[in-house]
Amino acid sequence: MTNSLRPNGDRRAPLPPAQSPADGVPSPRSPQSTQKKQNGKQRDSFFDNAKYLAIVLVAMGHAWEPLKGDSRILEAAYQVVYAFHMPAFIIISGYFSRSFDMRPDRLKRLITGVAVPYIIFETAYPLFKRVIDNDPHQEISLLDPWYLTWFLVALFIWRLTTPIWNLVRRPLPLALGLAMLATVTPEIGDDLDLQRVLQFLPFFVLGLVMKPEHFHMVRRRSVRIASVPVFAAALAFSWWAVPRMNTAWFYHRDAAQELGAPWWTGPVMVLAMFGCSLVLTACFFAWVPRRRMWFTALGAGTLYGYLLHGFLVKAGDYQGWFEASWLHHPAGEILVTVLAAAVVTVLCTKPVQRVFRFAMEPKMEWAFKRDAAELARERQSAERREREREKVNA
């Protein structure tokens, strides 16, 4: 969630335990990143389906950004989508971060699967602007996340603080309190996009405290039916609110004072938008298929779609692709929406993953010390294999 102006029945399929902290990342870097069975369980299709559908909505929202000013209906749809697509992603990230601790192998995955891609793409996007937009003065700064990269910074910080949230007695109210304080503190500034880190924090913490039965609840048929009028009401309210509400509230990147609002509206909006986002996210989850679909495997490659589609959106912005008048009519808006969904789908596929794995999933074994426990396991495994060979030879 960014702004282009700134950088099957009621049967309950068992949900997997939150085994790997990396599964909540839109990244495939995880022991569970294939569809193979592991520890007697198979990767749950529901979460992969949810991640894929969420990333499609992200790409569609970015494609709508240059067009929505000419259409009140598109602006309303944009606001509704922005109210829940990143919260849904972040809740899943939190859910699969529940077991995160400071174990060396998990820290390695956090560095190689989140920190390193951040450094690479935080450098690549400004360089891309220099070349494509003919802007040689575009600065490169690792402290000021550019466009899409804020999510990697936020995820890195959230995951590092997971042990704290697992320790405190009331994590969700505490996270909401921090988010409310952030909206009245413009002095936080833009470093590491801390406003977004803090204002989206409650969704990550909510994911941490959720249990499998909570996902079962929203996947019931009754919730699925109820979600239809809820979404219709949300669209109608959003259409009414378009000329009356600043869309920047949905980006969660500014304090209330920076949006020209009284300070007290910040905490009120945090609570109001958290409630609205939670309801719409539940409605979204209700319609996510729980069985394996043609796009299920793409859910393991959503980091690729997330980080790469931004180059195409930005290229279109820099080169004036969205300025064609026919695109600012319903037929053009529908075409752009379909193209955005198709492009991000392609970017999540295996061939694209193979090409860009060096940036998204660098192994970097050379950069880390060998963990003593890992070395001991390898010695035990080697000794066991040697004993088996001796028995065969005997």
Which helix (H) or strand (E) covers residue 240, if one does? helix 221-241
The average confidence (pLDDT) of the chain is 86
Q: Which residues touch 140 (CB under 8 Å, ≥6 apart)?
A: 122, 123, 126, 127
pLDDT at 7: 42
> What's the CA gap between 229 and 360, in Å, rounded?
40
Q: Look at residue 9 and tell me whether its pLDDT is greater than 60.
A: no
How far is the first Cα of the chain from the last one, in angstroms, to the nearest whole number?
A: 63
Query: How far does CA 163 lie from the centroid of its chain?
Result: 21
- CA-to-CA separations, 112 to 2, 60, 320, 349, 375, in angstroms, rounded: 23, 28, 35, 20, 20
Each residue's pLDDT tens digit, 139-186? 888 888 988 999 999 999 999 999 999 999 999 999 999 999 999 999
Which helix (H) or strand (E) covers residue 358, if one does? helix 350-360
Residue 339 token pair: 């193209």
- CA-to-CA separations, 345 to 59, 290, 294, 296, 340, in angstroms, rounded: 10, 19, 11, 11, 8
Q: Look at residue 40 and tell me whether its pLDDT is greater than 70.
A: no
Residue 279 token pair: 């309801």
List, in sequence order, every beta strand (DSSP E) within the chain: 37-38, 41-42
pLDDT at 138: 87
Each residue's pLDDT tens digit, 291-319? 899 999 999 999 999 999 999 999 999 98
Beta strands 41-42 and 37-38 are: antiparallel
pLDDT at 368: 84
Q: Look at residue 236 and tell me whether its pLDDT is greater than 90.
A: yes
Residue 389 token pair: 């060979």
pLDDT at 263: 93
- Provide the 3-class DSSP secondary structure of residue 324: coil
Q: Look at residue 22 and tell me whether its pLDDT is greater than 70.
A: no
Residue 271: pLDDT band with limits 50, 70, 90: very high
**What's the pTM?**
0.84
- Given the structure tokens 């924090």, which residue do they identify? 201
Residue 387: pLDDT band with limits 50, 70, 90: confident
